[in-house]
Structure 1
Amino acid sequence: MAATIKAAEAAAASALHIVVFPWLAFGHMIPFLELSKRLARRGHAVTFVSTPRNAARLGVIPPALSPAHVRVVSLDLPAVDSLPEGAESTADVPPEKVELLKKAFDGLAAPFAAFLADACVAEVREGGGGRRGGFGQKPDWVVVDFANGWVPPIADMHQVPCAFFSIFTAAALAFVGPKAAHDAHPRTEPEDFMSPPPWIPPPSTLAFRRHEAVWIAAAYRPNASGVSDIDRMWQVLEGCRLIIYRSCPEVEGHLCHLLDDLYNKPVVPAGLLLPPDAGDDDDIPDLIRWLDEQPARSVVYVALGTEAPLTATDVRELALGLDLAGARFLWALRKPSGGGNAGELLPEGYEERVAGRGVVETGWVPQVRVLAHAAVGAFLTHCGWGSTVESLRFGLPLVMLPFITDQGLIARAMADRGLGVEVARDDDGSFGRDGVAAAVRRVMAEEEGKVFAHNARELQEELEDGARQEQYVDELAKRLRRRSLS
């Protein structure tokens, strides 16, 4: 009994209080929440900071973790002219207004400062007397995203160290590089981003296509918030003691090992933070029943995320390309940029023409469950890192159609590993039905597809070592514990 008590006291004494504060996009909030849950399962208390509407939409914290280990603190997002009322995430605004959301996000600096000040005096006010564990103790770390560069100075006032959690790949961190590297080798024009930066050793294919490079170059210029996206990220990087990223050497190899020297501070993988199993329940959507009726590995699952800037022309060409390819498909079709009903953008009579061979779903699709289904043989994806990680888990080859941020780099990296092919695009970024059909056939119907499938299954086997993935979080937790005492 005495030994049990001592073990419990030792665990409590080593428990941390970690505040996490992601950018207001679900592609950021969800990985931050996954990391929070994993740290909480190791006995640490995690305060997840967001806004009221996002907190409500993120879902229920597992009962085993709440409220003892994970709590959500909501800060009211200030109003900004021309930002739609009630908009609290990138999913609530068109792409051209995301910069206004960043301006509103900057308005959270004062409320966050008040929250942190209160959290730092809570232990004294509640009579902690040096007792550790739980939300009553002063935060040991603040883990921030790329967008809130104003957090490190606030945390410094209270002597709380900051860590940057990059939901992007090691490749993206390497390509951006620290501010000192950019100052030595300035990049301002799209052409500058169409070849690997000089600080990445050759040979390397880390580069953007022209249409992607135009988008990336814009991220280096101030927007309506008054700050460029890259300057935000550099502010965070320079103000943090530790960099955490969502990847691992099994997937990105040498790039992971480059980061420590490049940033001149510890850079730690969190692993892929793989989603939980799809699970079985009594609610079986019709589309899952349809998959049950299809031959093994015969269906292409098509999903381009919730925020890809998909135009009406893109929807039409993708639809016609899937038809031309001749493969079975399940398409999770979201509303494109510019509004309108997604289904209305399909060619006239399209769903009737592909009936039995293709399904277009404009409502919610349980993506993990679909990717895990035996009938699915490939994934046509925008190469968002979250979706790519999910596909890697299930050993699926890829048909890749990247749009924004680091998606192009991810597509190049996956192609280099022999996991699939990109849909051909013109310099302006446009693509056509023939390119879609050719890429789908290469992965699903041609001999080359067997190689892609074999490579994907090999990587799946490496990633199925759940103990190794959990070890990355174990090592991160130990690093946080050591640094909190330094």
Structure 2
Amino acid sequence: MERNGVESSNNFHIAMFPFFLIGHMIPFLHLSNELAIRGHRISFLMPKKARIQLQHLNLHPDLITFCPITVPHIEGLYEGIEFASEVSTTLIHLVYVAVDQNCKQIQEILKASVLDQKIDMIFYYFVHWVPEFTWKLGVGIKSIYYNTTAAAVHAFSIVPARNYSPSLTGTIIKEQLRDLPSGYQSQHVVLLPGCEIHSIDIEGHLYDYLTAQHKRPMLLIGLVYGLEDSNKNSPPLEDMWANWLGGFEEAGSVVFCAFESQLILDKDQFQELVLGFELTGLPFFVVLKRPAAYATIKEALPDRFEERVKGRGVVFWGWV
């Protein structure tokens, strides 16, 4: 394989196994593109429906192969559910069950890949059985836990210092999370407009803390999206949003807010948030899930809200 005209013999075969959320799969694919630039071959494991949403982001289809997997049906979920974002928070644990029940299928795929061309490493998230399985294969596959969220999330909640009791069986009592874990250091971070700040500048102290807690080497990848021009393969911006954004002459003048797809606010929280954006007086675009008791976003909005923010504010649910 060549990079910049130079033949390389140090190319790897890498498996990617993200959690069943598009928001987690996209960072894995951005990283895959960067690794492919360097000549590495990628086998990307994903639910079947994810291919449609991700294929335009695959900038190196000659090196990045999508490997569709069948998500088993779990009692309590509708047929065809593949993503955590397709269910309410009360059913999210059943998606975790589906991931675990994928164990044998994933193992067979990895075994077949090893026979075809040895896998050198696997990047995974959340799936606890990956390291043990790859170790048992006995062919030297390295397991790399690729965290797609801020270090603060893991440093605060998922560290040995928490010393959770096995009797919790997956249910963490809220009171236990009110106190900081041993050795955790809080820090105020101020971002200045126009400054470029690397992750080590923002979360360096948490990087040190996590390294000490897990006694494993950690790498901060930093920004991988946008290092290569992806516009050529990206679909055009939807006309309705392109026209709406085009109505604001000054670049960077619209405030954008999006919460993760698993988060569902109750009515009071939802209305307080959107009213806060209204009070800013600025143009805004907010992406939220509707409160559980409402059939649509529109029904959950405060009285006359759309009338007051017409032309400068949007509250939307969906992929934009």
| Structure 1 and Structure 2 fold alike (TM over 0.5) | yes
1:139 corresponding residue in structure 2: 119
Q: Distance in 2 between matches of 1:113 and 1:152?
A: 11
8 Å CA contact 2:14–2:120 kept in 1: the answer is yes
1:288, distance to aligned residue in structure 2 (A): 3.8
Q: Distance in 2 between matches of 1:29 and 1:106?
A: 17
3-state SS of the aligned residue for 1:269?
coil
Deviations 1:311-330 (A, max 9, x none): 23333333333334433333
2:248 corresponding residue in structure 1: 294
Structure 1 range deviating more: 352-361 or 25-34:
352-361
Tell me whether 1:58 sits opposite 2:54 in the alignment. yes
8 Å CA contact 2:73–2:81 kept in 1: the answer is no
Q: Which amino acid aligns with 1:294?
A: F
3-state SS of the aligned residue for 2:248?
coil
Spell out the pairing of 1:90-239 with structure 2 (5 A cutoff).
90-122=84-116, 137-146=117-126, 148-159=127-138, 160-176=141-157, 178-179=159-160, 181-183=161-163, 189-200=173-184, 202=185, 204=186
Q: Which amino acid aligns with 1:264?
A: K
| Structure 2 residues not aligned, in runs of 5+ | 189-197
TM-score normalised to structure 1 length? 0.55
1:311 corresponding residue in structure 2: 266
8 Å CA contact 1:16–1:139 kept in 2: the answer is yes
8 Å CA contact 1:51–1:74 kept in 2: the answer is yes
Q: Which amino acid aligns with 2:150?
A: T
1:283, distance to aligned residue in structure 2 (A): 5.4
Picking from 70, 76, 84, the partner of 1:82 is: 76
2:292 corresponding residue in structure 1: 337
1:72 corresponding residue in structure 2: 66
8 Å CA contact 1:144–1:151 kept in 2: the answer is yes
Q: Which amino acid aligns with 2:309?
A: V
Structure 1 range deviating more: 247-256 or 330-339:
330-339
8 Å CA contact 2:151–2:207 kept in 1: the answer is yes
1:80, distance to aligned residue in structure 2 (A): 1.1
Deviations 1:212-247 (A, max 9, x none): xxxxxxxxxxxxxxxxxxxxxxxxxxxxxxxxxxx8
8 Å CA contact 1:177–1:263 kept in 2: the answer is no
1:257 corresponding residue in structure 2: 208
Deviations 1:122-147 (A, max 9, x none): 2xxxxxxxxxxxxxx2100122111x
Q: Distance in 1 between matches of 2:312 and 2:204?
A: 39
1:100, distance to aligned residue in structure 2 (A): 0.6
| Structure 1 residues not aligned, in runs of 5+ | 123-136, 207-246, 366-486
3-state SS of the aligned residue for 2:20?
coil
8 Å CA contact 1:83–1:100 kept in 2: the answer is yes
Q: Which amino acid aligns with 2:248?
A: Q
1:24 corresponding residue in structure 2: 20
8 Å CA contact 1:84–1:93 kept in 2: the answer is no
Q: Which amino acid aligns with 2:26?
A: I
Deviations 1:314-363 (A, max 9, x none): 33333333334433333335433345111222234322232244344455
Q: From the superposition, tell whether residues 324 and 144 of structure 1 become closer, same or farther in structure 2 (CA, over 3 Å).
A: closer
Q: From the superposition, tell whether residues 18 and 339 of structure 1 become closer, same or farther in structure 2 (CA, over 3 Å).
A: farther
2:193 corresponding residue in structure 1: none
Q: From the superposition, tell whether residues 256 and 44 of structure 1 become closer, same or farther in structure 2 (CA, over 3 Å).
A: same
Q: Distance in 1 between matches of 2:231 and 2:35?
A: 23
Deviations 1:356-412 (A, max 9, x none): 4434445543xxxxxxxxxxxxxxxxxxxxxxxxxxxxxxxxxxxxxxxxxxxxxxx
TM-score normalised to structure 2 length? 0.80
Deviations 1:72-92 (A, max 9, x none): 111211111111111101111
Report sequence identity in percent. Answer: 29
8 Å CA contact 2:159–2:210 kept in 1: the answer is no
2:191 corresponding residue in structure 1: none
Deviations 1:141-179 (A, max 9, x none): 122111x11222221122222111111222223224543
1:117, distance to aligned residue in structure 2 (A): 1.6
Q: Which amino acid aligns with 1:95?
A: T
Q: Distance in 2 between matches of 1:106 and 1:35?
A: 24
Q: Which amino acid aligns with 2:118?
A: K
Q: From the superposition, tell whether residues 53 and 349 of structure 1 become closer, same or farther in structure 2 (CA, over 3 Å).
A: same
Q: From the superposition, tell whether residues 119 and 340 of structure 1 become closer, same or farther in structure 2 (CA, over 3 Å).
A: same
1:394 corresponding residue in structure 2: none
Q: From the superposition, tell whether residues 357 and 52 of structure 1 become closer, same or farther in structure 2 (CA, over 3 Å).
A: closer
1:110, distance to aligned residue in structure 2 (A): 0.8
Q: From the superposition, tell whether residues 356 and 41 of structure 1 become closer, same or farther in structure 2 (CA, over 3 Å).
A: same
1:273 corresponding residue in structure 2: 224
Q: Which amino acid aligns with 2:213?
A: L
Structure with greater helix share of residues: 1
3-state SS of the aligned residue for 2:176?
helix
Q: Distance in 2 between matches of 1:306 and 1:22?
A: 16
Task: Kindly report the root-mean-square deviation, in angstroms, between the aligned alpha carbons of the 2 structures.
Answer: 3.1
